[in-house]
Amino acid sequence: MKRILLFGNPNVGKSAIFTRLTGVKIIASNYPGTTVEYLVGKTRIENKDIEVVDVPGTYSLRPDSPAEKVAQKFIDESNPKETVIINVVDSTNLERNLNLTLHLLSTKFPVIVLLNFWDETKHKGITINIRKLSELLKAPVIPTVAITGYGIQELREKLSKATPSNFNVKEKDVWNLVGKIIEETQIIEHHRHTFLQILEEISTHPVMGITFAGIVLFLSFLIIRLIGEGLIGFVFEPIFENLWGPVLLKFSAFLGDSNLLHKILIGEFIDGKIDFYQSFGVLSTGLFIPIAAVLPYIISFYFVLSILEDTGYLPRLAVLMDRFMHQIGIHGMGIVPMLLAFGCNVPGVLATRIMETRRERLIAATVMSISIPCMAQIAMIFGLLGKYGIRGIAPVFITLFLVWIIIGKTMSRFVSGDSPEIFTEIPPYRIPYFKGLLKKVWLRVSWFLKEALPFVLIGVLIVNLFYILGFIDFISRIFGPLLTKILGLPAEAIAALFIGFLRKDVAIGMLAPLGLSMGQLITASVVLTMYFPCIATFVVLFKELRFWDTLKASIIMVSSALFVGWILNLIY
């Protein structure tokens, strides 16, 4: 055996089994379609390295969707003598899952069936006769609970002994056979409604559902702010002010305060001391922005988002938002990438793959990268405009929301192609597995640290070098007048627009020392959000949309940013 293929319907816990087998950390969520790209990892069984592939979730082996085409490809390309298929089955949904199982059994591959979510069958009143099922399928059947690791040892033991089952069933008989198997192996007792099931009913109820969604989103926002502000106020700012500040001052004295190195590393003194927002040295503002201003919000955002994901609330929100999302030509599941984009636009753009058609993906990705500010930006906008309270913050987000709708509506009129209707499974509510949840948050946060921290430091370095070399003066003189006329911003703000290609949080940070008025800050924040995605987002946008669509998206971005900026300039 050289290869293991993990097959199963969407949202049956394949990714969690994959993590158990390989130790490779990937993100498992309680909504269908988390894994659209396949993942490959390695495991050791009987001292041999074996490749494990997490195939995207499929309902059948017929290539009806992009995910199913990928699945089919693996069946075609693998050698049946060296490959074992693990079919992960949701044991609370045996009947629907068996369709794929029978198809897999009819291939030449050895198949092992895992009855995952085994712990949930008990409180759902489901009894499955495992021995009987194994006899009927002529394949090993193992009950598992992926998140706790129950059954994984047994799986490892049986993997090397798996043999093809010589099962053969004609396409038209599959569902009949499924019916027969279910009759012989499964008993479902009626059971009382659990608290979670009552919540399930409320959250998709036409009237109560909207109220419930309002409460959930409001609480989410509140908790994100509470944790974010708490971490900044009680942990990160004190660390910078009381521990890092004095160290930097000593270092500054050592460097002597008027040479170039001092300007690059520590920056300008504001009122005779280091101001972490305004000094703009690599070691002062450069470290402060990603760690003390942005990281706390990244942590709190992903903590809350992961709870919404793992409980299974997002598909329900998708159902409620379906009509609204059709305003911009995409169906309800489009809310998932949109929410992800608030953390960072990169995973947001990647998640547009859960949409079926090119039209939907183009609209979703464009609208998102124009009008959804990532957490790093939001944190900085709050940092700059927070002192004006709701008067300063609200105009930014209301404008961006209007832009989201208007551009989305316009695009849905003019972009050709299909907008399919929503057709998705709604998984049951699950209590999040806390350790798994924390791991996921950590994974996403460490991704931010790895990807963003170097970019911010480089960004601040470049800003300083450009200032020193006179480059910023040069471009402000060329583009400055244009900017001043249209947007009403001082010529120096052009530097921020320039750096915004690299990192938007740094760019917004650059506005701090300019002494802008509230109106100018609002205009600059909106324009900076809209005019172009940061380099990381641009790269994934290019990968997902290809050249022409990226070009279209870029033209829309630049022109709409200038237009909206001009309008805001007229207002303020």
Partner 1 sequence: MISLLEARKNVPLVVKFVAGGGRGGKGMGGVSGRGGGGGRRNLCRRFSNMGIREGTVIIKLSAQPFFGPILIRIGNCEIAVGRGMASSILVEEVSE
Site membership for partner 1, residue 412 (CB under 8 A): yes
208 φ/ψ angles, rounded to the nearest 5 degrees: -65, -30
Sequence-distant (6+) residues with CB within 8 A of 491 are: 476, 477, 479, 480, 481, 483, 484
- Using the rule CB under 8 A, give the single segment among 337-345, 385-393, 416-424, 544-552 that binds partner 1: 416-424
Burial class of residue 192 in the structure, from the number of CB atoms within 10 Å of its CB (0-12 exposed, 13-18 middle, 19+ buried): exposed
Long-range CB pairs of 195-200, under 8 A, 24+ apart, other chains included: 196/428, 196/429, 196/430, 196/431, 197/428, 197/429, 199/429, 200/316, 200/428, 200/429
- Binding residues with partner 1: total (CB under 8 A): 47
Nearest-approach distance from CB 153 to partner 1, in angstroms: 28
Nearer Cβ to partner 1 (366/412): 412
Nearest-approach distance from CB 175 to partner 1, in angstroms: 6
Is there a contact between 25 and 74 (Cβ–Cβ < 8 Å)? no
Nearer Cβ to partner 1 (24/182): 182
Nearer Cβ to partner 1 (202/514): 202
Contact characters 301-320, partner 1, x per CB under 8 A: --------------x--xxx
Q: CA of 107: how far to CAs of 61, 132, 158, 164, in Å?
A: 10, 21, 19, 8
Nearer Cβ to partner 1 (289/320): 320
Sequence-distant (6+) residues with CB within 8 A of 51 are: 2, 3, 4, 40, 41, 42
Nearer Cβ to partner 1 (188/307): 188
Nearer Cβ to partner 1 (134/410): 410
Nearest-approach distance from CB 417 to partner 1, in angstroms: 6
Question: Restricting to residues 183-212, which ones interact with partner 1 according to CB under 8 A?
Answer: 188, 200-201, 204-206, 209
Nearer Cβ to partner 1 (327/517): 327
Nearer Cβ to partner 1 (359/444): 359
Choose, by CB under 8 A, the member of 37, 95, 157, 257 that binds partner 1: 95
DSSP code, position 192: P
Single-letter residue type at 263: K
Nearer Cβ to partner 1 (268/356): 356
Nearer Cβ to partner 1 (74/429): 429
Distance between CA atoms of residues 384 and 393, nearest Å: 9
Sequence-distant (6+) residues with CB within 8 A of 21 are: 4, 41, 43, 52, 152, 155, 156
Question: Restricting to residues 57-76, which ones interact with partner 1 according to CB under 8 A?
Answer: 59-60, 62, 64
Site membership for partner 1, residue 93 (CB under 8 A): yes
Single-letter residue type at 507: A
- Using the rule CB under 8 A, give the single segment among 273-281, 329-337, 435-443, 500-508 that binds partner 1: 329-337
Nearest-approach distance from CB 210 to partner 1, in angstroms: 9
Distance between CA atoms of residues 493 and 422, nearest Å: 44
Nearest-approach distance from CB 68 to partner 1, in angstroms: 9
Contact characters 152-181, partner 1, x per CB under 8 A: -----------------------x------
Choose, by CB under 8 A, the member of 170, 195, 421, 470 that binds partner 1: 421
Which sign, positive or negative, has the C-alpha torsion 485, 486, 492, 494?
negative
Question: Restricting to residues 116-145, which ones interact with partner 1 according to CB under 8 A?
Answer: 124, 126
Nearest-approach distance from CB 340 to partner 1, in angstroms: 20
Distance between CA atoms of residues 411 and 369, nearest Å: 14
Torsion angle, alpha carbons of 439, 444, 448, 450, to 10? 60
Distance between CA atoms of residues 361 and 334, nearest Å: 9
Distance between CA atoms of residues 350 and 332, nearest Å: 17
- Using the rule CB under 8 A, give the single segment among 156-164, 279-287, 289-297, 353-361 that binds partner 1: 353-361
Whole-angstrom Cα Rg for the chain: 27
Site membership for partner 1, residue 229 (CB under 8 A): no
Nearer Cβ to partner 1 (316/503): 316
Q: Which residues pair with 110 in a beta bridge?
A: 164
DSSP code, position 420: P
Question: Restricting to residues 434-493, which ones interact with partner 1 according to CB under 8 A?
Answer: none
Choose, by CB under 8 A, the member of 44, 81, 96, 138 that binds partner 1: 96
Site membership for partner 1, residue 357 (CB under 8 A): yes
Token reading at 337: 């990438």
Nearest-approach distance from CB 421 to partner 1, in angstroms: 2
Nearer Cβ to partner 1 (45/405): 405
Site membership for partner 1, residue 423 (CB under 8 A): yes
Choose, by CB under 8 A, the member of 14, 20, 331, 361 that binds partner 1: 331
Torsion angle, alpha carbons of 12, 18, 19, 22, to 10? 170
Site membership for partner 1, residue 569 (CB under 8 A): no
Nearer Cβ to partner 1 (61/270): 61
Nearest-approach distance from CB 31 to partner 1, in angstroms: 12
- Using the rule CB under 8 A, give the single segment among 14-22, 243-251, 412-420, 457-465 that binds partner 1: 412-420
Sequence-distant (6+) residues with CB within 8 A of 277 are: 285, 288, 293, 383, 509, 512
DSSP code, position 273: B
Site membership for partner 1, residue 348 (CB under 8 A): no
Is there a contact between 113 and 185 (Cβ–Cβ < 8 Å)? no
Binding site for partner 1 (CB under 8 A): 59-60, 62, 64, 92-93, 95-96, 99, 124, 126, 175, 188, 200-201, 204-206, 209, 315, 318-320, 322-323, 326, 329, 331-332, 356-357, 359, 412-413, 416-428
